[in-house]
A = this chain, B = another copy of it.
Amino acid sequence: MDKIKIVIVGYGNVGRGVMKAIDANDDMELVGIASRNPARVQKEVTSVPVVFMDDVATWKKELNVDVAILCGGSKDDLPVQGPAISKHVCTIDSFDNHSCIPQYFATMDENTKAAGTAAAVSIGWDPGIFSLERVLASAFLPGSKADGFYGLSESGGLSMGHSDALRTIAGIKDARQYTHAIPEAIDRVRNGKSPEFNAGDMHWRECFVVLEDGADKEAIEAEIKAMPAYFEPYKTTVNFISQEELDSKYSGFPHDGCVVASGITGEANKATIEYRCTWESNPEATANVLVAHARAISRMFKEGKTGAFTILDIPPAYLSQYSQAELLKNFM
């Protein structure tokens, strides 16, 4: 069987995760990495060619690429790279700016249909797996409401977006932000209260901050807590620590979360559905989900399907490394 030939676009934490994930899937093969700075990445990666990101038509052809996995960020990278690259080759991305997904999907759908390619968009654990679980819960328990919680473990889950936001503040040298779910809120959903939560009812935020020399602790703590959307609606704690402590205790990328839905069946019988995942490495977990979708999109494209797809549009068997006969025998 021909292996699915994959290019990684953007070699950050998720891109590195995709590289490892491809190794764990026998039906796939990494054929190259596309970067804005190929010379820098080629120093680290010697096993495959590193090509210039913008030369899509060239590397698509020369590397015989089936699928490009876009590992850039949702703010600046994907809105440009998604349409530009999917003009030439099937793509997978993890566009995760929830409120902009309808617009991004429409752009990608129009673009890929015109180009005769296929794209899986907004793939990962949320949006992605959690989106799927929300849809399943609402289909199986009409009238129920599913809520997502993040940072269930005692140490919470590392939020890259909030860590980046902290580092934009003048006087902050380095920082990490851990999100914590509020257990009582999860219990309220489990108990079928279908509560209408404000953001601050569901999560609190724990910051570990390294200051620049001479920075004003109190002013910075106040600035963090007042940052709109990121910290203002939440209970937020700020811990000032040394760079050494940050590097030794908070250098990983752990995260976890759950989707909880509660509803009824029949007239009044209670029903609860809960999906939970725990990742020691959040970017590697995202990478694994992206890679499974590369398999699905490659299959769908071979069947002649074009356009944009979310996880909701893909028959789950297409994600699997197993044949239909194996799935019927061992998984049903």
Cβ of A143 within 8 Å of any chain B Cβ, yes or no, is yes
Chain B residue at smallest Cβ distance from A95:
B332
In chain A, positions 93-152 with a C-beta closer than 8 Å to chain B are 98, 101-102, 105, 122, 127, 129, 131-136, 138-143
Cα A183 to Cα B273 in complex, Å, equals: 19
Q: Are A319 and B278 in contact (CB under 8 A)?
A: no
Whether B271 lies near A274 (C-beta < 8 A) is no
Q: Within the oligomer, what is the number of copies of this chain?
A: 2
**Complexed CA–CA distance, A256 and B289 (Å):** 27
* B284 x A269 contact (CB < 8 A): yes
Q: Are B288 and A265 in contact (CB under 8 A)?
A: yes
Residues of chain B within 8 A of A278, CB atoms compared: 270-273
Nearest to A319 among chain B residues (CB) is B139
Task: Determine whether the beta carbon of B314 is less than 8 Å from that of A315.
Answer: yes
Closest chain B residue, CB of each to CB of A314: B315
How near does chain B come to A331, taking the closest CB pair, in angstroms? 5
Are the CB atoms of A265 and B277 closer together than 8 Å?
no
Mask, A268-308, CB within 8 Å of B = 1, is 01111111111111001101110010010000000000000
**In this complex, what residue of B is CB-closest to A256?**
B272
Assess A332 versus B139: contact at CB under 8 Å? Given A265-B284, A277-B271. Answer: no
Question: B312–A331 contact, CB under 8 A?
Answer: yes
Instruction: Pick the interface stretch among A17-25, A203-211, A236-244.
Output: A17-25
Question: Can you list 27 A-B contacts with CB-CB less than 8 angstroms, sorted by A residue number?
Answer: A17-B266, A98-B332, A101-B329, A101-B332, A102-B325, A134-B331, A135-B316, A135-B320, A135-B322, A136-B316, A136-B319, A138-B321, A139-B319, A140-B319, A265-B285, A269-B280, A270-B278, A271-B277, A271-B284, A272-B277, A272-B278, A274-B275, A312-B315, A312-B320, A312-B327, A312-B331, A312-B332
